[in-house]
């Protein structure tokens, strides 16, 4: 026991003495910026490195990951939103400081002074409209929100504050009322699994938390009943096999390339308590090829066929969750109490369903993104969308390119055609706020 205690202290000393070394090189590759990270190894360190890059919405075109013994070395080939090398000195400095200053697994999205609502349940048309209506009725002002749907389930993180005071919601009676009302809305008439609502004062990285919520909700276990043959054929290809001679399990993935793909996969593997020891990531045109050599945190490979199938399902689900189908609508307007309730009610009344949403406010401005289908999950009728735009505000609600499963081209067009402060919105919540606080960017409000 004495030796074990001293070993723990030694490992802590090694980490303190060996702060990460970061090199950002624009000369070694003709088409991308190379980011090299060398550090003492610990569980989750790869995810934290990838998180820094993806929060800046950079594309990881290639990566080489090696982690043996006590050491960890990653090489990432990244490009900006236009597919070019990184030239913005502020972005480069942020990467150097974030990766070189030591990793922090408890890093949050910076939503201090807000109350976080975590919601999971069975998805259905109009559900989001009902949720926002309840919050408006209970005098909760929605400041930020992200909503994912996958395989008939919904997961949402909604950050709210009191309408009158602008303070976080702390009254226990009101919190209990919010939880109860939202739980009843999420249950509906036929929620077999049961809806879950949780109120907290802080939350970890938003998108990682959404992955955790959907994983806990077991969204990976089934496919939607209305999945078409075309949808099935575009699903990511995932295979898992053991390399017993070296004690690794190998996860191979082939799918459409897109931003945050590596983050989504590594996030899920990490939360399933696997360690990525080696990996290679390559992209050719719009296809990504990823290979991971993993073990359990206790050093053992995958031990059963059931576990192999579970890893396959979970990795597929991790890739698919973010790739919501539908027409993308962006609403940029002056924020006001009940705005989201009114907008989503208009969608519902016109037979439109929200499959994914992101809500952001800065000052008195709201920039909200919705992916819209009809109630059957098919492409929404263009006449219906134009009718909705007329009702909400033709200049405020803008139609973007239809989102295809994992489409890199779609992502690029979205980045290039933003309105007002759209570019600022697409930086992750943590990065946007940190860059603003450091004086490197200005608010668009």
Q: What is the pLDDT of residue 324?
A: 65
pTM of the model: 0.82
In tens, the pLDDT along 23-52 reads 999 999 999 999 999 988 777 889 999 999
Spatial contact of 234 and 266, defined as CB atoms under 8 Å apart: no
How do residues 86-123 score in pLDDT, each as one tens digit? 999 999 999 999 988 755 544 555 677 889 999 999 99
Q: Percentage of residues in the chain with pLDDT exceeding 90?
A: 64
Domain boundaries, the chain: 20-98+248-321, 115-204+324-437
**Chain CA centroid to CA 433, Å:** 17
Numbers of helices and strands, H then E, in the chain: 14, 16
Contact 88, 26 (CB under 8 A): no
Q: Compute the Cα dihedral for 305, 307, 313, 315 and give only its sign.
A: negative
pLDDT at 414 over 50: no
What confidence tens digit (pLDDT) does each residue in 134-167 have? 999 999 999 999 999 999 999 999 999 999 888 9
Predicted confidence (pLDDT) per residue in 423-438, tens digit: 333 344 444 444 444 4
pLDDT for the residue numbered 100 = 80
Specify whether the CB–CB gap between 171 and 178 falls below 8 A. no
**Residues counted in the chain:** 445
Confidence band for 72, pLDDT divided at 50, 70 and 90: confident
Mean pLDDT of the chain: 83
Its sign, for the CA torsion 254, 256, 261, 262, is: positive
Other Cβ atoms closer than 10 A to 378: 13
pLDDT, tens digit (0-9, with 9 covering 90-100), for 235-268: 899 999 999 899 999 999 999 999 999 999 999 9
Structural contact between residues 35 and 95, judged by C-beta atoms closer than 8 angstroms: yes
In the predicted model, is pLDDT for residue 67 greater than 90?
Answer: no
> Looking up tokens 């205690």, which residue turns up?
5
- Scored b (16 or more CB within 10 A) or e, 264-302 reads bbbbbbbbbebbbbbbebebeeeebebebbbbeeeeebb
Q: Is the pLDDT of residue 6 over 70?
A: no
pLDDT digits (tens, 9 = 90+) for 208-219: 999 999 999 999
Tracing tokens 């059931």 back to the chain, one arrives at: 306
To the question of domain 115-204+324-437 being in CATH 3.20.20.70, the answer is no
**Is pLDDT above 50 for 417?**
no
Q: At what angle do helices 305-321 and 206-216 cross, to 10 degrees?
A: 140
Q: Are 115 and 139 contacting, i.e. CB atoms less than 8 angstroms apart?
A: no
Longest dimension (CA), the chain: 73
């Amino acid at each position: 026991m004495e030796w074990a205690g001293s070993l723990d202290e030694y490992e802590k000393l090694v980490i303190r003495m060996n702060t990460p070394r970061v090199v950002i090189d624009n000369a070694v590759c003709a088409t991308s910026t190379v980011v090299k990270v060398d550090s003492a190894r610990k569980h989750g360190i790869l995810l934290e490195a990838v998180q820094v890059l993806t929060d800046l919405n950079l594309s990881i075109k290639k990566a080489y990951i090696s982690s043996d013994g006590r050491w960890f070395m990653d090489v990432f080939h990244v490009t900006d939103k236009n597919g070019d090398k990184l030239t913005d000195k502020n972005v480069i400095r942020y990467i150097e400081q974030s990766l070189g200053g030591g990793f922090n697994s408890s890093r949050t999205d910076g939503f201090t002074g807000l109350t976080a609502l975590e919601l999971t349940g069975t998805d259905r048309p109009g559900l989001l409209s009902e949720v926002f209506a309840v919050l408006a009725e209970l005098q909760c002002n929605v400041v930020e929100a992200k909503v994912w749907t996958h395989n008939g389930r919904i997961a949402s993180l909604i950050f709210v504050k009191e309408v009158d005071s602008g303070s976080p919601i702390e009254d226990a009676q009101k919190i209990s009322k919010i939880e109860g009302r939202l739980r009843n809305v999420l249950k509906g008439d036929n929620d077999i699994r049961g809806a879950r609502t949780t109120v907290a004062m802080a939350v970890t990285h938003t998108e990682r938390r959404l992955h955790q919520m959907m994983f806990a909700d077991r969204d990976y276990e089934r496919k939607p009943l209305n999945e078409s043959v075309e949808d099935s054929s575009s699903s990511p290809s995932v295979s898992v096999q053991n390399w017993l001679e070296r004690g690794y399990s190998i996860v191979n993935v082939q799918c459409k390339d897109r931003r945050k793909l590596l983050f989504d996969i590594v996030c899920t593997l990490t939360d399933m308590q696997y360690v990525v020891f080696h990996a290679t990531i390559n992209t050719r045109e719009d296809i990504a090829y990823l290979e991971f050599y993993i073990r359990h945190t206790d050093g053992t490979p995958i031990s059963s066929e059931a576990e192999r199938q579970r890893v396959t399902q979970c990795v597929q689900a991790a890739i698919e969750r973010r790739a919501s189908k539908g027409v993308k609508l962006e609403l940029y307007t002056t924020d006001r109490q009940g705005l989201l309730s009114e907008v989503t009610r208009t969608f519902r009344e016109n037979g439109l369903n929200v499959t994914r949403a992101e809500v952001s406010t800065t000052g008195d401005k709201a920039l909200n993104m919705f992916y819209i289908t009809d109630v059957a999950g098919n492409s929404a009728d263009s006449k219906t969308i134009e009718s909705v735009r007329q009702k909400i505000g033709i200049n405020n609600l803008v139609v973007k390119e239809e989102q295809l499963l994992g489409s890199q081209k779609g992502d690029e067009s979205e980045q290039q055609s933003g309105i007002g402060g759209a570019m600022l919105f697409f930086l992750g919540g943590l990065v946007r706020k940190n860059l603003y606080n450091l004086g490197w960017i200005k608010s668009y409000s």
